[in-house]
Structure 1
Amino acid sequence: MSVTHTCTLAFAALCLSTAALGAQGRSKWVYPDARGRLRYTADARGNRVMDFSHAGYKGGGVRIPDVRVVRTVKPREGDSTAQIQAAIDEVSTLAPDGDGFRGAVLLERGRYDVGAQLRIQTSGVVLRGSGSGTDGTVLRVTGTAHRVFEVAGTGSWQPEGRIARLADAYVPSGSPAFALDSAADFRPGDAVLIQRAVTESWIRFMNMHTLERDGKPQTWLKPGTLITHDRTIASIDGASTGPGQSTRITLDVPLSDSFDAAYLNPPGTTVIKYTFPGRIEQVGLESLRVVVPAQDKPISEAQYTLLRMSAVRDGWVRDVVSVDTQNSTTFGATVARVTIDNVHIQHTLPFTAAAAPADFAISGTQILLDRSSVTGEGVWPVVTQVGVTGPNAVLNFRSTTAGIAPHQRWATGLLVDSSEFTGGSDRRPNIAFSNREYAGSGHGWSVGWAVAWNVKAEVLLVQQPPGSKNWCIGCTGRFTPILWHGNRIPIPDSPSETHESPGVPVAPASLYLAQLRDRLGEQALRNIGR
């Protein structure tokens, strides 16, 4: 029986894409059962491939709305920055509707000179062009080097109430639940921070206490650094779970990291409620083309960049082309539930300076980078930064230079799914889940609990951190055992327990889409254009 005969109509496209890959391998960690639903295998401590389908606008599977236009801007001679910003500011004063939207500012087709930064700082505001093609809305960036867009609220998480502590000796990666010493102050729907402090014992366990560069000690993470999961309580089970374990809570989204009390006490892992009054929601940037002067500048010099987003929940960037920006987009640590869809970064000038820029830099959580690309030479297309916690997902991505490189200091919960990369080398692998050792100022172990799923690449580097895993499943490409700067931690020449089906794609074709269908149903796939 053909693959398509076993699929529902709504899931047919996903299954057909798998069939088109030809022979199929199989993963023991995640696999479809006879009914097409995914089954998971945990390791001896309960760690498993997490559910990445919570990444994206509104937590995944929700259609990005077409917000009503309330102000229109036309092209004009001279600089248009003040005119566009005035329209954004005017819409920002309008009352939001029942869905939280104030309205969209529409830029009609044509060319707009923009000599300064444009800002969205209020919930419910969308800036929309009339297409990202050369005949659409083209922003020609002028003036001294600057960021073109900032979409940002203010402040950060504001903890409130009493601190509770994890009571479990071990909480596995991919788990949505754990025991607390007390949950008397918590209710379902509470926004909470789950925070673990980096300890000296964990640094030593990770073998990150001996980093040196040119004879000088390098610091991976300082003891006391907080690694934070931003979550919401889904349910509370008040029944006792044993001595010293009074209450069990379940979160809306699984945890991307594991929590081993043997290396985290003291002070242990804490849970506390928070508010975030300055965070903005329901904001978007769409259907624009941005062109800046071609540049090849070191990071020490000012650059033309595209976008910085911070203190945002439930936002999007879609149908945007950016030509010749460097370090193009940054999504800060206080960003959550954002979709980046059909955003394409094009470089006409190869980058040759030291410290290559990154076009998509992710520090937030539940970020979906979908159907996007980077073309050009000498840059990192996608990086994660310090202490990033997932789920974050890169889906149907294309790049002609390097690839996905969790950059420094322990990110967790990253999926690279059904993506294709060229231009890789041992110096710049297309997938680099690795120990960067002394690179930079001591980047060390860059990522754990990451998954490369049905990726086509030229060079892959996937290493296993102490106490953690990185998976490479159904990927095609040459595996390299070392990172160019001298890392000597080997990976197997043949598939290990986390390197499965090399050169042979596995079912499902897309892990993210299959997880989304399992969790929310077929309509969720249609909502995101599948």
Structure 2
Amino acid sequence: MADQLCGSAVIGEGRFGCNHFEWQPEDPAPVLGFNHMKERMIMVMGFQFWKQTAALAAASFLALAIGGEALAWESTKVYYNNQGQLQYAVDSDANRIVDFSYAGYHRGERDIPDSSAISPVLNVSPVTGDNTTALQQALNTVAAWPLNANGIRGVVLLAAGDYPVHGTLRINASGVILKGAGFDDDPALNTVLRRPLLTTTNKNPVLVAGGNLSSNWSGGDTPQNRRDITSSIVSVCNRSFTVASTAGLAAGDNIIIKHPSTQAWIDSVGGGGTAGDPSWTVDSLPLVFNRYITGISGNTVTIDAPLTNKLNRSLSQSYLYKYDRAGLLTEIGVENLQITIDTASPTSENHAEDALVFNTVEDSWVNRVKVKHFVNKGIVLQTSSRVTVQNSYSVEPHSKDEGGRRYNFGVESGQLNLFVNNLAQQGRHSYFGNGATWDSGNVFLDNTAKDSYDVSEPHRKWGHGFLYDNHKELDLRGTNKIVLGLYNRGDYGTSHGWSAANSVLWNCDVGKGKAIIEHPPTAENYAIGCKGNISGTGGPFRSVIPTTTGFIEGTGQTQLSIPSLYRVQLAERLGYTYPAVADAFVRAGSFSATNYGSAASMELKNSDNSKYDRDIYLKLDYTGYSRGQIGKAYLMFYVDYSEPKQPLSFYGLANDNWSEDTITWDTAPSAAGAIVTGTVEVSATGWYSVDVTDYIKSQTDKMASFKVTDRSQANVLARISSKESTAYGKPFLVISPQ
């Protein structure tokens, strides 16, 4: 006997898909779960009475789900389709979520260089007294060495020790890596660059890397070098458009795209939404994009990374020009050291304002650096693109708790930069953008803010295309403060107005704080799958402008099918997704010698009578993954049928020696010694994911086999779509280098 009740009920931002029931003759009598109740009522009470009773049972079941059951939850704005491909919804204003995967060192397409394998190396030890001259001489020495094929000159390797630095150190050439022995506090084991408290105050940064121009990529913007963009609209995330002439342009050219801030554009965004402050002014806030040409066909130009804001020719005539790259430096690395600033007290300000500044830099990195006791900025990227800042600490700022202070990690005219796995402490703006319309495409991934005084945000004047992905707040100073903001800042500062557009909070946890998401004119902001107080109604200028709520969904969901937006976007773009090469389910009892390798749907069940049990086996081949680093790995699978609350356990096996054409319950590989990768509770149809990072990292042959089982003994059935399915997506592995 088989029966099927199909329907879809929306619960807040969650969804239930079709629930199916299948009772096979060998199965025990169904007694648990809503579908089992339904089957028994059909048999005993008749269809009409069942419909009424089932409706009540369904209502009770759905109410239980609202109470916190983990569901397969996907955003309506970006999600996997049935074939396992990312899909994006576009609203009536042609707004959509940006593809953020181009952020980071070489657009995320290369690993940061392994400095331990780079030569030549200049070894340096601390000297007595001020080390500024000795360290600068070492940096200048390596700066004079020739570039290798990868654009690297060599490494200045600092021994452990305390290095008093009275002045400012400058890395003033491409291809120079400054590396220490460690970034913790003990100078006996680590490298500490220390600005002492001097009789004559030096408020300049301790270390500056780059060209020191702060040009906002303006070099080359002359009338004769401009090419008008003739497309009437270039929508968010587009990479192609037409120009008046492609003469003199070629693939590989570094270009700047500029959308001037005309009065018409300013009017379209409500004057900037500045509340009582003056409106934004003509030519003060152009939308600027630093890009490379990847192709030319006729008058159509294709660029390397998508736009993060719409270009509307009816509001402003956009154009492009070839960037002259004057003063731009590349392939600079700062690693494995600490920068600390001596101060008179935790609230004093008579000391260095900034610790580490990257200025006019591209394709560079900061890794394992700790900065302490700055007034204004800890680690900041100015007029910089495609820089990765990772595994670093910006902590214990020493200053008053006032404006213009305690900016831990961020950008000022920064584009396509990636901040990943960092810790900010006691910040007013822990993770920020402060370059107005020149800021775009920046990603903050897996970062933590602790003891926050104020909000992480694009800070002012239309920063666009920011992603906060898996951001976490800990130990907030006070309660219910705004700690993440994509909103209107009105007359804060100097006419800050709309600070963010086309920006996203994804799977963030605001702890005891709150996030405010507001809808800017002509654009959108999003908060998807976040935890805590996520609102569009608590903005500081909502009653003045007035503002409306941005797009918010999935608040409180604990089981997102896409755990990290940046990672799945990067994996899909670079081809780091690996479908199952073998999959099958096996069945106990009288079917223990039967092979189900050709089934389109794989069954899972665990009964109090083991002869009815069914397990699933998956094999995935990722030998095509050539990157040296694995940041995260997710196993994605599509549940095409599930009964309520079924916990699936995933075991990473040591044995890949099985075939889907021959595997049975009797011949299946043992799970002895298997790595338990996690448990996922399935309660509805849809895509699910499980983090299998540690297991994938352990497989030196780049082959992965999983046993999937249900140990609940609840007599419930789930089915996972197999690689043979034509209706739903096959299981696949997602690997992200970050």
Is the structural similarity TM-score above 0.5?
A: yes
1:306-342: CA deviations, max 9, x gaps?
A: 1121111111111001122232122112x11100011
1:487-526: CA deviations, max 9, x gaps?
A: 644545xxx7x21111115221111111111111334775
Mapped partners of 1:472, 1:442: distance in 2:
25
Structure 1 window deviating more from structure 2 (447-456 vs 22-31): it is 22-31
1:391-423: CA deviations, max 9, x gaps?
A: 110000100214421111111111100111142
Distance 1:84 1:461, change over 3 A: same
How far has the Cα of 1:80 moved from its partner? Answer: 1.5
- Among 153, 157, 174, the alignment partner of 1:123 is 174
- Contact kept in structure 2, 1:56 and 1:366, CA below 8 Å: yes
- Among 573, 590, 607, the alignment partner of 1:519 is 573
- Contact kept in structure 2, 1:61 and 1:527, CA below 8 Å: no
Structure 1 window deviating more from structure 2 (278-287 vs 474-483): it is 474-483
Mapped partners of 1:524, 1:459: distance in 2:
41
1:137 maps onto 2:200 in alignment: no
Mapped partners of 1:324, 1:421: distance in 2:
21
1:232 maps onto 2:272 in alignment: no
- Contact kept in structure 1, 2:274 and 2:495, CA below 8 Å: yes
Name the SS for the 1:360 alignment partner. Answer: strand
- Among 399, 402, 408, the alignment partner of 2:460 is 408
Mapped partners of 1:51, 1:500: distance in 2:
19
1:80 maps onto 2:131 in alignment: yes
- Contact kept in structure 1, 2:338 and 2:369, CA below 8 Å: yes
Q: TM (normalized to structure 2)?
A: 0.63
1:158 maps onto 2:220 in alignment: yes
1:245-256 correspondence to structure 2 within 5 Å: 247-256=299-308
Distance 1:434 1:79, change over 3 A: same
Structure 1 unaligned regions, length at least 5: 1-20, 239-246
Q: 2:146: which partner in 1?
A: 95
Q: 1:241: which partner in 2?
A: none
1:27 maps onto 2:75 in alignment: yes
**Letter paired with 1:442:** S
How far has the Cα of 1:380 moved from its partner? Answer: 4.0
- Contact kept in structure 2, 1:321 and 1:343, CA below 8 Å: yes
1:22-74: CA deviations, max 9, x gaps?
A: 54421111112345432212223443212111111111131111233521111
Structural RMSD (CA): 2.5
Name the SS for the 2:140 alignment partner. Answer: helix
- Among 203, 206, 214, the alignment partner of 1:148 is 206
1:241-280: CA deviations, max 9, x gaps?
A: xxxxxx222111000110122322xxx1011222214211
Structure 2 unaligned regions, length at least 5: 1-68, 577-624, 633-738
- Contact kept in structure 2, 1:256 and 1:389, CA below 8 Å: no
Mapped partners of 2:323, 2:397: distance in 1:
45
- Contact kept in structure 1, 2:275 and 2:541, CA below 8 Å: no
Mapped partners of 1:528, 1:392: distance in 2:
21
Distance 1:451 1:108, change over 3 A: same
- Among 314, 318, 324, the alignment partner of 2:373 is 324
- Contact kept in structure 2, 1:439 and 1:485, CA below 8 Å: no
Name the SS for the 1:90 alignment partner. Answer: helix
Q: 2:695: which partner in 1?
A: none
- Among 390, 398, 402, the alignment partner of 2:440 is 390
1:159-308 correspondence to structure 2 within 5 Å: 159=221, 162-208=225-271, 211=274, 213=276, 217-223=277-283, 225-238=285-298, 247-264=299-316, 268-294=317-343, 303-308=352-357
Q: Which has the higher contact order (CA 8 A, sep 6+)?
A: 1
- Among 122, 125, 130, the alignment partner of 1:71 is 122
How far has the Cα of 1:207 moved from its partner? Answer: 1.4
Structure 1 window deviating more from structure 2 (153-162 vs 89-98): it is 153-162
Structure 1 window deviating more from structure 2 (162-171 vs 125-134): it is 162-171
- Contact kept in structure 2, 1:163 and 1:271, CA below 8 Å: yes
- Contact kept in structure 1, 2:433 and 2:463, CA below 8 Å: no
Identity of aligned residues (%): 26
Mapped partners of 2:543, 2:179: distance in 1:
46
Q: 2:419: which partner in 1?
A: 369
Distance 1:33 1:69, change over 3 A: farther
Mapped partners of 2:161, 2:351: distance in 1:
28
Mapped partners of 2:180, 2:154: distance in 1:
14
- Contact kept in structure 1, 2:263 and 2:281, CA below 8 Å: no
- Contact kept in structure 2, 1:349 and 1:377, CA below 8 Å: no
Q: 2:735: which partner in 1?
A: none
Mapped partners of 1:365, 1:140: distance in 2:
30
Q: TM (normalized to structure 1)?
A: 0.86
Q: State which structure, 1 or 2, has the greater radius of gyration over its C-alpha atoms.
A: 2
Name the SS for the 2:380 alignment partner. Answer: strand
Mapped partners of 1:209, 1:237: distance in 2:
37
Distance 1:419 1:71, change over 3 A: same
1:162-185: CA deviations, max 9, x gaps?
A: 422122221111111112222233
Name the SS for the 1:364 alignment partner. Answer: strand
Aligned residues: 490
Distance 1:355 1:280, change over 3 A: closer
Structure 1 window deviating more from structure 2 (152-161 vs 99-108): it is 152-161
- Contact kept in structure 2, 1:394 and 1:415, CA below 8 Å: yes
- Contact kept in structure 1, 2:399 and 2:405, CA below 8 Å: no
Mapped partners of 1:27, 1:421: distance in 2:
23
Q: 1:436: which partner in 2?
A: 489
Name the SS for the 2:75 alignment partner. Answer: coil
Name the SS for the 2:391 alignment partner. Answer: strand
Q: 1:465: which partner in 2?
A: 520
1:215-247: CA deviations, max 9, x gaps?
A: xx4243444543211111111222xxxxxxxx2
- Contact kept in structure 1, 2:367 and 2:391, CA below 8 Å: yes
How far has the Cα of 1:209 moved from its partner? Answer: 6.5
**Letter paired with 1:177:** S
Q: 1:242: which partner in 2?
A: none
How far has the Cα of 1:426 moved from its partner? Answer: 8.4
Mapped partners of 1:53, 1:507: distance in 2:
18
1:447 maps onto 2:524 in alignment: no
Distance 1:27 1:75, change over 3 A: same
Distance 1:258 1:87, change over 3 A: same
- Among 537, 551, 561, the alignment partner of 1:507 is 561
Q: 2:472: which partner in 1?
A: 420
Structure 1 window deviating more from structure 2 (63-72 vs 314-323): it is 63-72
- Among 156, 160, 168, the alignment partner of 1:109 is 160
**Letter paired with 2:96:** R
Distance 1:209 1:152, change over 3 A: closer
Name the SS for the 2:173 alignment partner. Answer: coil
- Contact kept in structure 1, 2:469 and 2:508, CA below 8 Å: yes
